[in-house]
């Protein structure tokens, strides 16, 4: 279980990393924490000849809020995000960040790395879909903004161009009458989720859901969303029946892959449960309840 | 007048039952311990093994020439280098194979300067295989035209065990209720944190020193010798600290003779250490079994008979694991008062990974069946399970059909304690009624009990342990014991016992038990025997030393020895605790007198048990004990998730010696048992392991441990040290059926095949909903 031999390069600036990656071409990979990449290399799923370590590039891990905009540097670690003021403000962020893998992985792995891996089992992409996040990306041709929903083309494949790097994640802070919840169903801490669900919703006049985003992780080859499911709930008072119907609709859009973590129909049953659980917690948070969210280990 | 503090009398106190930390705990907690895996010897080479990676095949050709030429490679060995060197319980194994019988079979081995070079050399070895059809279940292995795995074991039959007591047909006829079920228990492995490792080195006289993780150093020499064509006397076994064993180091496995063969060939020390993936693929497993059990009783709830037909998946070779039916039949015959018992077990060779011994040793498998059948019978009788258990519980003085004499039997006290502490009967009734009501979450409570040997097990010619104890001029004591420390805590027990007898601080005792050339015979860490056997040995040695010291003190002080005691590093007067002389001063006087005397004693303790005979009728342990667990759980009927809310354990421990160590053993045993019940499973597909990593093989971790309520029942065993009995295996044995009974109480569904994973439980609940309400039922 050792990776194939490779050359290690440490980038000291963003431009330096981009030039080096351009120069080295297809045989190089950007290392942004390595909690996915190194595992792949050990399993020989990937045998890059060069690793360009982004870890020492300054200012890429800043987490800030300006007005109603939240900005997270791509090299912020899971632990840094889970422990940040943003997580205090948005419990859904803490739900997600504090449950990723184990403490060691949370201290090394980064949000940008998780997005760049395009692995549908990663937690952040699912969460960021519920917040309609945008990604700032910089490459040899300059800087552009990509909605998170457009980043992933297919499993393990992004639309990023050669040597293009995600540098920052930005999203609007949800309004005060909004609440969110993220929950994952996992065998144990170091494992990827069997299935996960994130919900961010806004309530007006008591129980009328004025806006909602739902996203599922480990539910197909990409993060799963469903306008149909959201439309069932958007603009209406939430009822048990409508939540059931919306859960049914998004689970119908999912295409979970049977594997050692479960068969397809078991995963659908778990997803259905997770959506309902996440909606329930999100609603209670809208109403001002303090609820500690967590991943379920089973 | 102020009395000097040194004149203060010393009161009599005792360490027995106190919480004492293990001597190795601070080093382990701070990362200072140097495990065998950390060891590096000068000139040491790294050995690596090429595994077959296919379950059943002939080797057409093997070419190692390119590997041999790689700079840094010192030697490459193949099957021809181990030909004829058969080892194993029935001599069906060799270190390096000429034919493949399971996935991890060792085909070639390399010794090289570094791990990287060894890995590169492995990649240069080319092997041509001709795959053969395989056998992957014991049922298939029994078929007439099944592929034969070993030429000299016809019909794939490995070991067979049978025991009959009483007239089964008559007992069945006299039974008013009979339960009849087939239980299938699965493959699990030990998951030691320290992966398997051996370092071998030969001296110029041909004597082998092997640093090993073994838990039975003396028989290990006997078992290793034939794999090397050596005399056992020419092997010295060193035992550095290990990261867990749990039964997995109770045999010789091929990597050990391979390390020695490489060392012999190269003339250099060679270390072989498994990666985690190798550890999953190549370690022994707990023996999977298909258990067809029938148990009967009369309408008034008296047990009438039990029969068990057991088919065991031997795997490709016969390690100690397939001898587990010896223990299985004892549970089958001794778990409650069952007058008529028939037991039949057949181990069948398959092309699966092969089983070894694992904490619980067969009893885990059978108790999964017996304890659930007790629950089923109670339900059919419409009796409170506790009343049914109590009605059939043995009492002190009874003898089982296999002639186990239950001298001090505390089963009924265990049952009453566990039931009372958990409010078992009321909750059991309440949850049974609530089963039919609506609701996503269902609560359940389940009880299980078992019996296990607790005073050794005389399965060898000897079940003894030697002890050498010396006291130096500074009153520091060294105990050289045959008993191995593999993390279970025997060093702390011996430390406590010796400090108790000699009235010295715990820190003044050193235990030496890591070198077979120094320490005397012991049969090994197994059968929950070490506290009982080695504890007795240490106590007897300490009492001899104590007597020698008191006799010397009596001669010098003219106070009779029986009026003296050893307390706080002093010889004191027994009645009032007044100090007579400082112990180290006395020892120096003894040493530096005209007729000098050193305190240096030996003891050999052999328990008064009977050897396990061919007819399996013997009182083979010096003590037996029982444990009762009550599991309280919540089932999420939507996802099948089982949350274990609380475990109440009542176990007859004889007497508590080191309370903290005992708590650790029971808690650790419960953790292993919970993993077996809920999540751990080697997923094999045609003999190939699909989940050789902790990501996919789920061991429970600390946050998943339930609340534990431990009750130690002290039955004061006459033969045990201070009354103690062995304790380590029972907690692992009773937990899975307690969980299964609780899940039945919650859902009304029986699970005959652990582990009870969320998907398995959810599917069973959906299936039942479908049969009840049709296929449109809401999942």
Statement to judge: residues A190 and A146 lie in one domain? no
Does B763 contact A at CB distance below 8 Å?
yes
Averaged pLDDT, B52-74: 98
B5: confidence class by pLDDT, cuts 50, 70, 90: low
Tokens 């800043």 belong to A62
Q: Is residue A203 part of a domain?
A: yes
Give the mean pLDDT of chain A: 94
Does B123 contact A at CB distance below 8 Å?
no
Distance CA B634, CA B630 (A): 14
Pick B119's closest partner by Cβ from A2, A185, A191: A2
Does B3 contact A at CB distance below 8 Å?
no
Distance CA B216, CA B527 (A): 12
Summarised one tens digit per residue, pLDDT across range B503-522 is 999 999 999 999 999 999 99
Statement to judge: residues A59 and A110 lie in one domain? yes
Position B4 scores a pLDDT of 58
Statement to judge: residues A169 and A272 lie in one domain? no
Q: In this model, does residue A207 exceed pLDDT 90?
A: no
φ, ψ dihedrals at A77, nearest 5°:
-80, 165
Does B429 contact A at CB distance below 8 Å?
no
Pick A260's closest partner by Cβ from B641, B683, B766: B683
Report, in this order, helix, strand and coil percent for chain B, each rounded to 5: 35, 25, 40
Statement to judge: residues A230 and A162 lie in one domain? no
- Give B693→chain A minimum CA distance, Å: 10
A206: confidence class by pLDDT, cuts 50, 70, 90: confident
ipTM of the complex: 0.85
Q: Is residue A274 part of a domain?
A: yes
Nearest CA in chain B to A5: B116
- Give B641→chain A minimum CA distance, Å: 6
Nearest CA in chain A to B115: A2
Give the mean pLDDT of chain B: 96
| Residues 611-670 (B) with a CB less than 8 A from some CB of A | 636, 638-642
Q: Is residue A39 part of a domain?
A: yes
Q: In this model, does residue B775 exceed pLDDT 60?
A: no
Position A78 scores a pLDDT of 97
Q: In this model, does residue B776 exceed pLDDT 70?
A: no
- Structure letter (DSSP) for residue B206: S
Spell out the residues 6+ positions from residue B57 whose beta carbon is closer than 8 angstroms to its own. B99, B100, B129, B130, B131, B132
Higher-confidence position of B661 and B325: B661
Position B612 scores a pLDDT of 86
Tokens of B717: 């065993």
Summarised one tens digit per residue, pLDDT across range B415-466 is 999 999 999 999 999 999 999 898 989 999 999 999 999 999 998 889 999 9
Statement to judge: residues A31 and A59 lie in one domain? yes
A185 and B639 in contact by Cβ < 8 A?
Answer: yes
Averaged pLDDT, B644-653: 98
A289: confidence class by pLDDT, cuts 50, 70, 90: very high
B276 and A191 in contact by Cβ < 8 A?
Answer: no
Angle between helix axes B730-747 and B659-678 (nearest 10 degrees) is: 50
- Give B598→chain A minimum CA distance, Å: 54
Distance CA B403, CA B163 (A): 12
Where do runs of H (alpha helix) occur along chain A? Answer: 14-24, 37-42, 78-82, 85-89, 91-97, 103-108, 111-116, 123-130, 148-151, 227-233, 240-253, 264-286
Summarised one tens digit per residue, pLDDT across range B129-153 is 999 999 999 999 999 999 999 999 9
Position B128 scores a pLDDT of 98
- Give B648→chain A minimum CA distance, Å: 21
Measured between beta carbons, which residues in chain B are less than 8 angstroms from residue A189? 701, 703
Q: Is residue A125 part of a domain?
A: no
Distance CA B465, CA B455 (A): 12
Statement to judge: residues A143 and A199 lie in one domain? no
Position A296 scores a pLDDT of 76
Pick A298's closest partner by Cβ from B641, B701, B779: B641
- Give A32→chain B minimum CA distance, Å: 22
Q: Global pTM?
A: 0.93
Statement to judge: residues A102 and A213 lie in one domain? no
Higher-confidence position of B63 and B7: B63
- Give A283→chain B minimum CA distance, Å: 20
A298 and B696 in contact by Cβ < 8 A?
Answer: no
Pick A188's closest partner by Cβ from B642, B698, B766: B698
Pick B759's closest partner by Cβ from A189, A263, A272: A263
Statement to judge: residues A158 and A53 lie in one domain? yes
Q: Domains, chain B, ranges and CATH?
A: 25-30+464-605 (3.30.365.10), 45-132+203-245+249-273 (3.90.1170.50), 289-457+613-771 (3.30.365.10)
Summarised one tens digit per residue, pLDDT across range A162-199 is 999 999 999 999 999 999 999 999 877 778 899 999 99
Tokens of B684: 């094999």
Tokens of B586: 């006395």
Distance CA B207, CA B237 (A): 11
Position B324 scores a pLDDT of 85
Measured between beta carbons, which residues in chain B are less than 8 angstroms from residue A260? 683, 690-691, 696
Spell out the residues 6+ positions from residue B549 whose beta carbon is closer than 8 angstroms to its own. B471, B502, B566, B571, B583, B586, B587, B590, B599
Q: How many domains in chain A?
A: 2
Statement to judge: residues A105 and A184 lie in one domain? no
Measured between beta carbons, which residues in chain A are less than 8 angstroms from residue B689? none
Statement to judge: residues A199 and A254 lie in one domain? yes
A187 and B694 in contact by Cβ < 8 A?
Answer: no
Residue A197: which CATH number?
Answer: 3.30.390.50
* Sign of the dihedral through C-alpha B166, B172, B173, B174: positive
Q: In this model, does residue B779 exceed pLDDT 50?
A: no
Does B276 contact A at CB distance below 8 Å?
yes
Tokens of B482: 């045959």
Q: Is residue A223 part of a domain?
A: yes
Q: How many CB pairs under 8 A join A and B?
A: 57
Statement to judge: residues A137 and A25 lie in one domain? yes
Averaged pLDDT, B636-641: 92
B1: confidence class by pLDDT, cuts 50, 70, 90: very low
Does B739 contact A at CB distance below 8 Å?
no
Residue A7: which CATH number?
Answer: 3.30.465.10
Residue B379: its H or E element: helix B363-381
Which range of residues forms the domain containing residue A89?
A: 1-119+132-173
A189 and B639 in contact by Cβ < 8 A?
Answer: no
Q: In this model, does residue B645 exceed pLDDT 80?
A: yes
Nearest CA in chain A to B697: A187
- Pick the closest to residue B683 from B616, B760, B620 (CA basis): B760
What percentage of chain B reaches a pLDDT higher than 70?
A: 98
Q: Is residue A108 part of a domain?
A: yes
Q: Is residue A124 part of a domain?
A: no
Q: How far is CA B654 from CA B311, B536, B760, in A?
A: 34, 13, 39
Greatest C-alpha distance within chain A: 61
A1 and B639 in contact by Cβ < 8 A?
Answer: no
Residue B221: CB atoms within 10 Å: 22
Contact A72, A52 (CB under 8 A): no
Statement to judge: residues A102 and A152 lie in one domain? yes
Position B777 scores a pLDDT of 40
* Sign of the dihedral through C-alpha A253, A259, A265, A268: negative
SS3 B36: helix
Q: Is residue A254 part of a domain?
A: yes
């Amino acid at each position: 279980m050792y990776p194939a031999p490779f050359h290690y390069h440490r980038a000291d600036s963003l431009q330096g990393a981009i030039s080096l990656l351009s120069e080295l071409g297809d045989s190089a990979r950007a290392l942004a924490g390595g909690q996915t990449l190194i595992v792949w290399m050990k399993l020989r799923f990937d045998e890059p000849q060069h690793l360009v370590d982004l870890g020492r590039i300054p200012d890429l891990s800043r987490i800030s809020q300006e007005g109603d905009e939240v900005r997270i540097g791509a090299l912020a670690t899971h632990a840094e995000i889970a422990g940040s003021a943003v997580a205090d403000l948005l419990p859904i962020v803490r739900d997600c960040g504090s449950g990723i893998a184990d403490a060691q992985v949370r201290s090394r792995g980064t949000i940008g790395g998780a997005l760049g891996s395009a692995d549908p089992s990663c937690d952040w992409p699912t969460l960021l879909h519920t917040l309609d996040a945008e990604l700032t990306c910089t490459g040899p041709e300059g800087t552009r903004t990509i909605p998170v929903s457009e980043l992933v083309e297919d499993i393990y494949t992004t639309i990023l161009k050669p040597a293009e790097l995600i540098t920052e994640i930005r999203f609007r802070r949800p309004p005060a009458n909004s609440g969110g919840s993220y929950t994952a169903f996992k065998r144990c801490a170091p494992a990827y989720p069997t299935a996960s669900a994130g919900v961010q919703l806004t309530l007006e006049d008591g129980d009328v859901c004025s806006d909602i985003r739902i996203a599922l992780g480990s539910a197909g080859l990409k993060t799963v969303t469903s306008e149909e499911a959201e439309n069932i709930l958007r603009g209406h008072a939430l009822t048990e029946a409508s939540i059931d119907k919306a859960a049914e609709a998004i689970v119908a859009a999912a295409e979970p892959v049977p594997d050692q973590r479960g068969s397809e129909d078991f995963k659908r049953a778990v997803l259905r449960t997770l959506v309902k659980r996440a909606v329930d917690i999100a609603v209670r948070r809208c109403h001002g309840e303090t609820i500690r969210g967590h991943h379920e280990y089973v | 007048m102020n009395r000097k503090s040194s004149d203060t009398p010393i009161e009599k106190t005792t360490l027995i039952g106190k919480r004492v930390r293990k001597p190795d705990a601070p080093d382990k907690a701070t990362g200072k311990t140097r495990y065998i895996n950390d060891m590096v010897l000068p000139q040491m080479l790294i050995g690596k093994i090429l595994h077959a990676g296919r379950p059943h095949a002939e080797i057409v050709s093997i070419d190692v020439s390119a590997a041999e030429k790689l700079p840094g490679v010192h030697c490459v060995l193949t099957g021809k280098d181990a030909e004829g060197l058969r080892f194993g319980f029935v001599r069906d194994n060799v270190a390096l194979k000429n034919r493949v019988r399971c996935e991890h079979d060792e085909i070639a081995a390399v010794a090289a300067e570094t791990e990287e070079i060894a890995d590169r050399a492995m990649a240069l070895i080319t092997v041509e295989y001709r795959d053969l059809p395989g056998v992957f279940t014991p049922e298939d292995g029994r078929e007439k035209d099944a592929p034969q795995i070993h030429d000299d074991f016809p019909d794939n039959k490995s070991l067979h065990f049978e025991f009959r007591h009483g007239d089964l047909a008559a007992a069945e006829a006299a039974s008013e209720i009979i339960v009849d079920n087939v239980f299938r228990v699965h493959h699990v492995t030990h998951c030691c944190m320290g992966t398997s490792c051996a370092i071998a080195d030969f001296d110029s006289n041909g004597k082998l020193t092997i640093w090993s993780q073994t838990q039975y150093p003396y028989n290990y020499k006997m078992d290793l010798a034939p794999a090397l064509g050596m005399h056992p006397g020419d092997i010295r076994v060193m035992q550095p600290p290990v990261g867990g064993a749990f039964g997995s180091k109770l045999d010789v496995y091929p990597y050990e003779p391979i390390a020695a063969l490489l060392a012999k060939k190269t003339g250099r020390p060679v270390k072989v250490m498994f990666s985690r993936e190798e550890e999953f693929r190549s370690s022994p497993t707990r023996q999977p079994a298909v258990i067809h059990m029938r148990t009967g009783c009369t309408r008034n709830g008296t047990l009438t008979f039990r029969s068990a037909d057991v088919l065991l998946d031997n795997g490709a070779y016969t390690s100690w694991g397939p001898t587990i039916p010896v223990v299985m039949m004892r549970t089958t015959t001794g778990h409650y008062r069952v007058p008529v018992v028939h037991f039949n077990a057949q181990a069948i060779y398959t092309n699966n990974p092969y089983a070894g011994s694992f904490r619980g040793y067969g009893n885990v498998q059978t108790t999964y069946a017996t304890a659930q059948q007790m629950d089923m019978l109670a339900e059919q009788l419409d009796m409170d399970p506790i009343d049914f258990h109590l009605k059939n519980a043995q009492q002190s003085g009874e003898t089982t059909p296999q002639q186990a004499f239950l001298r001090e039997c505390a089963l009924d006290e265990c049952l009453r304690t566990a039931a009372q502490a958990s409010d078992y009967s009321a909750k059991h009734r309440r949850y049974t009624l609530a089963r039919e009501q609506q609701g996503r979450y269902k609560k359940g409570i389940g009880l299980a009990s078992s019996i296990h040997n607790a005073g050794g097990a005389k399965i060898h010619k000897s079940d003894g342990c030697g002890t050498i104890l010396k006291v130096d001029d500074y009153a520091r004591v060294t105990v050289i014991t045959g008993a191995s420390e593999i993390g279970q805590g025997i060093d702390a027990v011996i430390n406590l016992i010796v400090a108790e007898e000699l009235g010295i601080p715990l820190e003044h005792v050193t235990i030496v038990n890591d070198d077979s050339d120094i320490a005397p015979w012991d049969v090994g860490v197994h059968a929950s025997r070490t506290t009982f056997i080695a504890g007795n040995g240490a106590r007897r040695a300490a009492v001899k030393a104590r007597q020698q010291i008191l006799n010397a003190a009596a001669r010098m002080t003219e106070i009779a020895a029986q009026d003296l005691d050893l307390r706080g590093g002093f010889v004191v007067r027994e009645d009032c605790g007044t100090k007579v002389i400082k112990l180290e001063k006395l020892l120096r006087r003894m040493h530096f007198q005209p007729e000098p005397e050193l305190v240096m004693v030996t003891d050999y303790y052999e328990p008064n048990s009977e050897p396990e005979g061919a007819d399996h009728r013997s009182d083979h342990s010096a003590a037996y004990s029982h444990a009762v667990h009550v599991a309280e759980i919540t089932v999420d009927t939507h996802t099948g998730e089982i949350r274990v809310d609380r475990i109440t354990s009542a176990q007859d421990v004889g007497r508590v010696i080191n309370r903290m160590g005992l708590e650790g053993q029971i808690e650790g045993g419960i953790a292993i048992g919970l993993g077996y019940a809920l999540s751990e499973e080697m997923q094999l597909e045609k003999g190939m392991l699909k989940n050789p990593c902790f990501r996919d093989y789920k061991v429970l971790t600390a946050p998943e441990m339930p609340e534990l309520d431990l009750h130690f029942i002290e039955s004061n065993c006459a033969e045990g040290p201070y009354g103690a009995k062995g304790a380590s295996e029972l907690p692992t044995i009773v937990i899975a059926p307690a969980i299964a009974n609780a899940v039945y109480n919650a859902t009304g569904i029986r699970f005959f095949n652990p582990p009870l994973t969320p998907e398995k439980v959810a599917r069973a609940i959906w299936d039942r909903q479908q049969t009840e309400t049709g296929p449109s039922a809401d999942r």
